[in-house]
Amino acid sequence: MLDISALTHGLLLGLAMFVAPGPKDILILRETLVGQSPAKLIAIAVGTDVILIGLGMLGLSALLQQMPGLRLLAQGLGIALLAAHGVQAACAAARHDGPEHALPAPPPDGSGLRRLIVVSLFNPAAWLDTLLVIGTVGATLIPPLRFSFAAGAVTASVIWFSLWVLGARSARRLMGAPHARSIQGRRLLDAGVAIAMIGMALSLALSL
């Protein structure tokens, strides 16, 4: 049976952590604008949050706090990952290929979704918010309350990413004019991803 107090606690803490657009949100925005399935995007966004919250509550957050060297290594790998994806997006933004009057299309090989999964799971900012903060708070609760707390946090993830994807779909409909559908639109999307990824990588590197 759900405990309303613990569920509300998880919901409010989850909203406080999730309602702050970062690299994951920027990638979801881009994939929505290029026509990726909203259901797949929401499922990946929420599913990766469930994994990180679960790992945190099962003790990984405590392990990272007790082993600074391991935490530093994980953060370094995550920063390198963000920087690599940022450079990749910057290169894509610099290219001039593609039809002049077509919105970018989702890659047929699913590379956009795979990139979203990797960034969602290995972004150090996501660890701090989801694994370390939400997971640590949940782990301090008595066992009967942990499920309710986790359910509240996951509900916050569902709410935020559903609203984010719906908002992006509305923006996509506004991009119906030929000038908005030009190759410049694709380059701007990739440039936004590059700025978010590299900016987050630099910010996290300077905070180490």
- End-to-end, the C-alpha distance of the chain in Å comes to 42
Query: What does pTM read for this prediction?
Result: 0.75
Calpha distance 4→151 (Å, rounded): 10
More confident residue, 125 or 4: 4
DSSP sequence for 186-206: HHHHHHHHHHHHHHHHHHHHH
The residue count for the chain: 208
Residue 149's Cβ-count burial label (10 Å; 0-12, 13-18, 19+) is buried
More confident position, 127 or 134: 134
* pLDDT at 57 (0 to 100): 86
Range with lowest mean pLDDT among 95-99, 135-139, 201-205: 95-99
Given this model, what pLDDT does residue 170 score?
A: 82
For residue 179, give the nearest of 96, 103, 86 by alpha carbon. 103
**pLDDT tens track for 6-50:** 999 999 999 988 887 778 888 898 888 888 899 999 999 999 999
